[in-house]
Amino acid sequence: MHEFMKRLRRDHRNLNRLFDMLEEQVARYDMDSTLEPDLLLILDIIAYLKDYPRIYHHPLEEEAIALMVERDLGDNSANELIHDQHQKLEQATERLSTLFNMIVNDQPVPIEQTQEALASYLEMSRKHLQAEEDRLFPVMEKVLGNDEWELVASRLPEGLDPLFTENPDDAFVELRRRM
């Protein structure tokens, strides 16, 4: 499997772990929970979810999709769906981040609103990763060879080639350490 493909699949595993962590933390706001939510951890997870996909993960997928569209490879409806989901996800992550920033700043946010916002965010995000694993990744693995991936890499925004970033997993490792 090409390094980029491995990278994308590893990102998905990391993201799914973070979704579970976030869910577990926010569940602690429930009255009957004996555990206190770790608000700083929640904020760090959201900060990661806001930056990492937008800066590294989505551009790689988007450039790969763009090349597939250009060469008429793969399933166009899947390509369009994924592209559309990226935009909606980035907006949803912004909204979630705003909501938690209000909470940190002691602005009154009903807990039901937070839980609902998180639940719909998680559903949307998990569905997105699943859609890619079902409909996009298998096709990418089939139609994109070394040459294609090289071209994709050359089109990534400068300095954002995830394989050449010093330690792209550092932020995740740090979060995981605190699980």
For residue 89, what are its two tokens? 């996800």
Residue (22 or 65) nearer to Fe ion, CB: 65
Site for Fe ion in 30-89 (CB under 5 A): 61
Let me know if 108 is exposed, middle or buried by CB neighbors in 10 A (0-12, 13-18, 19+): exposed
Q: How far is the CB of 129 from Fe ion (least distance, A)?
A: 6
Alpha carbons within 13 angstroms on the beta-carbon side of residue 93 total 24
Q: How far is the CB of 131 from Fe ion (least distance, A)?
A: 8
Residue (5 or 109) nearer to Fe ion, CB: 5
* Binding-residue total with Fe ion (CB under 5 A): 2
Rounded Cα distance, 173 and 139, in Å = 30
Indicate which single residue of 132, 137, 140, 144 sits in contact with Fe ion (rule: CB under 5 A).
132
Residue (75 or 116) nearer to Fe ion, CB: 75
Residue (61 or 63) nearer to Fe ion, CB: 61
Which region, judged by CB under 5 A, interacts with Fe ion, from 91-99, 110-118, 127-135, 158-166? 127-135
Rounded Cα distance, 146 and 148, in Å = 5
Rounded Cα distance, 50 and 44, in Å = 10
Residue (63 or 132) nearer to Fe ion, CB: 132
Q: How far is the CB of 31 from Fe ion (least distance, A)?
A: 36
Rounded Cα distance, 21 and 44, in Å = 11
Instruction: Return the CA Rg of the chain.
Output: 18
* Residue ranges in contact with Fe ion by CB under 5 A: 61, 132
